[in-house]
Amino acid sequence: MPPDQPTQRDLFEHRPAWAEDDRRQGTIATVVLPDGVDKPLDYLVPEALAAAVEPGRRVRVPLGRANRLRLAYCVAVRSGELPQTPLKEVSGVEDDKPLLSRRMLALTEWMAERWMARRGEVLEAVLPAGVRLRQKARVSRLLVAGQVDPARKLTPAQARVLAAATQPAKAEQLAHVANASRAVVTRLLKLGLLREAGTVAAAAGPARRAIAHDRPEELSPAQATALGAISAAMREGRHETILLFGVTGSGKTEVYLQAVEETISYGRQAIVLVPEISLTPQTCDRFRARFGTVAVLHSHLTPAERHGQWREIAAGRVNVVVGARSAIFAPAPRLGLIVIDEEHESSFKQATAPRYHARDVAEWISRAEGVPLVLGSATPALETFARCLSGEWRMCRLADRVGGSQLPAVITVDLRDRSARSRGAISPRLAAGVRWALDAGGQVMLLLNRRGFATHVQCQACGHSMRCPQCEIALTLHQPGNKGVCHGCGLVTRLPADCPECRSPGLVHRGTGTQRLEEQVRKAFPDAAVARMDTDTMRSRGSHEKTLDAFRDRQIDILVGTQMIAKGLDFPSVMLVGVVNADAALHLADFRAAERTCQLVTQVSGRSGRGPQGGRVVVQTSTPDHPAIRAAAVHDYEAFVRSELPIREALLYPPFGNVIRLVVRGADEDRVAAWAGTLAERLRAAAAQDGAAGLRVLGPAPAPIPRLREQFRHHLQVHGPDGPALRALVGRATAGLKTPDGIAWIVDVDPVEML
């Protein structure tokens, strides 16, 4: 047995019923390891540590035969009789304060069950890496000189370090600049003469800068109704989930802002979740402009900066937290409101374990705290819509744009129609629309959800298409340099001049990506300034902001981009939005393909005509009659919902049923298939035993992306009407399974990614 395996004694938990003899009293700590053993383990708390061991702190415990010390989370402490079999003792305490409140501990327990995740990995996920740093490592945060008592005697080295620390700097920089050792820096920290620099963005400024200039005099009636519903829940201290279902530009953000204002006026804190900070700079700016102290938790923060923010929030010095998915775990002690903007976005579901959804976590927290949860979207997820229709959640409609501006007229161009064809990706109708907007002094956004130059490279003679050697995914051509790039694994290869199969010369570039589109746009509109926004052009920090600023300043006339340009942007001069290929995502092997398409086309259309000159949208499609496209074209998302819900109901897909997806991967396809088969058999057997109606096991089958990074992928799905029953079934069927070597498999509860 490897030394780190738990021994019988580690796992001993329950006192046997026959053991009724005298026994010692004592304190027992239940701990969870971050990895390895998943079962909570009990340890005896020695007298000397009794004051320090409490739930939420990490402790060091001996594990296995070798009694190697491991760091573990203390999740519960109880006093009482000790079990017959002696317990091992906690050997030390890591943190001087709990990292997690009791409520957060309860949340992690719920999350572990809800998404079939290991408790240890949930605990790690709710705490940012910086918070988990050990004491020793904490010195790498930014430091600055504190107040120095003039009477204090400093060594020359200490004086040099303090002189260097008038600006925030890292410990190692200070030591270097002052020609002092790291020990000097550590000593100054201990003495309190150096302190950590504040890391809260925009911390300066009075907290009551609340009445900023962009605050409208009066709310529209729909806005007032929505705010009234939120205020009522807030004043009565009760939980309610309220969806703002409002077209783009209907004033949802203004409602969030005023609700947050009210929360702050009660001395409470608000958490605002956005899909991704870098894609929503305007939303963040508006929160920053309106409120004094806003902690913006974005992905570029270093672990130390994140920890700094965390502590400011925990200390109650920050009123508003804006961040992506994981900001839901911000340790706000006086939480009064949670807002989720663009609640339909799939980025709120974590793609790696624990595979939680921030919307469900937010519901749990707001229920536990007795505060309202506000969701907002022009295109709510069908799951959200259904919960409003059932009356569980409240829906507030904001049907019109504020200020009377009209939603743009949408023209669909049927790409099957010969007259719509052109040499490039831009149909004559779309070109005319671009010309119209430019001539009127407006700006243009063109959406194409495929990056690169050409979407595949093919031999004209034999039809062979170039594929990634690791993933089997068709290679995308990227220019300059004639590179073949795999969008699955990122592999970059040089494309050959001749076909590797039949040796004929002349591989052709098929399909249009954003690079080629940009080239075509430049040729067609030589007088216009063109820029492109996709992950290829936006690799460096701050590049989003730079491009968006340039667009706002009218240095760019036409912005070409992927879905990156679809979200949350408010540029009043945009008079034309073009959707180059609305069908791109419609035929993916994913039951949400139509929903996603309708959401994307609706969202990007909403970027047009926000100013007084109005605007238009041109949607190019080969399926103009598809309900997703038709609904988006008339700005009637609800029409799509009405057509889609019966389909979901017939197939028992969410929101009418629950799905758990299992994905098996490995280098050897036969073994991957065999293991997926074993899982399917066990699931079917368990389902048969249950005899419950509506339980279905689909698959196994190769996943829609059958190979990724040299790993074969097979998947299966389990469907059922009841979430907890379905999880119990999967739990039972897979309990105690020993996974063969070379195989990895995951369980995804409520998957949003089916590829």
Q: Which is nearer to ligand ADP, 248 or 455 (CB)?
A: 248
Give the per-residue contact string, 471-490, with Zn ion (x = CB under 5 A; - = no): x--------------x-xx-
- Residue 275 in the binding site for ligand ADP (CB under 6 A): no
Task: Identify which range of 49-57, 73-81, 243-251, 289-297 contacts ligand ADP by CB under 6 A.
Answer: 243-251
- Residue 404 in the binding site for ligand ADP (CB under 6 A): no
Task: Identify which range of 86-94, 213-221, 304-312, 713-721 contacts ligand ADP by CB under 6 A.
Answer: 213-221
- Residue 250 in the binding site for ligand ADP (CB under 6 A): yes
- Residue 755 in the binding site for Zn ion (CB under 5 A): no
- Residue 501 in the binding site for Zn ion (CB under 5 A): yes
Other beta carbons less than 10 A from residue 544's beta carbon: 19
- Residue 464 in the binding site for Zn ion (CB under 5 A): yes
Q: How buried is residue 214: exposed, middle or buried, by Cβ count under 10 Å (0-12/13-18/19+)? A: exposed
Binding site partner of 461, from ligand ADP, Zn ion, none, Cβ cut-off 5-8 A by kind: Zn ion
- Residue 314 in the binding site for ligand ADP (CB under 6 A): no
Rounded least distance, CB 231 to ligand ADP, Å: 16
- How far, in Å, CA of 178 to CA of 3, rounded? 46
- Relative orientation angle of helices 281-290 and 543-552, to the nearest 10 degrees: 80
Backbone conformation region of residue 342, classed left if phi is above 0, alpha if psi is from -120 to 50, else beta: left
- How far, in Å, CA of 426 to CA of 560, rounded? 12
- Residue 220 in the binding site for ligand ADP (CB under 6 A): yes
Q: Which is nearer to ligand ADP, 575 or 703 (CB)?
A: 575
Q: Which is nearer to ligand ADP, 252 or 429 (CB)?
A: 252
Rounded least distance, CB 248 to ligand ADP, Å: 5
End-to-end CA distance of the chain: 38
Rounded least distance, CB 499 to Zn ion, Å: 3
Rounded least distance, CB 669 to Zn ion, Å: 16
- How far, in Å, CA of 177 to CA of 59, rounded? 37
3-state secondary structure of 611: coil
Which helix (H) or strand (E) is 339 found in, with range? strand 335-341
Binding site partner of 462, from ligand ADP, Zn ion, none, Cβ cut-off 5-8 A by kind: Zn ion
- Count of alpha carbons within 13 angstroms of residue 295, beta-carbon side: 31
Query: What strand order describes the sheet that includes 142-145?
Result: 169-170, 142-145, 194-196
Rounded least distance, CB 501 to Zn ion, Å: 4
Written as six digits, the tokens of 444 are 């243009």
| 278 phi/psi in degrees, rounded to 5 | -70, -20
Q: What ranges in 116-169 are assigned the alpha helix state H? A: 119-126, 129-132, 156-164
Residue position matching structure tokens 């990995």: 121
- Residue 502 in the binding site for Zn ion (CB under 5 A): yes
Binding site partner of 491, from ligand ADP, Zn ion, none, Cβ cut-off 5-8 A by kind: Zn ion
- Residue 408 in the binding site for ligand ADP (CB under 6 A): no
Using CB under 5 A, which residues numbered 410 to 439 contact Zn ion?
A: none
Rounded least distance, CB 457 to Zn ion, Å: 11
Closest alpha carbon to 248 in 377, 157, 346, 119: 377
Beta pairing partners, 559: 445, 531
Contact with Zn ion (CB under 5 A): which of 129, 137, 462, 698?
A: 462
Contact with Zn ion (CB under 5 A): which of 144, 409, 461, 725?
A: 461
Q: Which is nearer to ligand ADP, 372 or 657 (CB)?
A: 372
- How far, in Å, CA of 583 to CA of 592, rounded? 13
- How far, in Å, CA of 244 to CA of 251, rounded? 10
Which helix (H) or strand (E) is 676 found in, with range? helix 669-690
Task: Identify which range of 139-147, 244-252, 367-375, 491-499 contacts ligand ADP by CB under 6 A.
Answer: 244-252
Contact with Zn ion (CB under 5 A): which of 459, 560, 628, 641?
A: 459
Residue position matching structure tokens 């997806």: 661
Written as six digits, the tokens of 191 are 């003495």
Written as six digits, the tokens of 655 are 């929101």
Using CB under 6 A, which residues numbered 563 to 592 contact ligand ADP?
A: 570
Q: Which stretches of the chain bind Zn ion, using CB under 5 A?
A: 459, 461-462, 464, 468, 470-471, 486, 488-489, 491, 499, 501-502
Binding site for ligand ADP (CB under 6 A): 214, 216, 218-220, 223, 246, 248-254, 402-403, 570
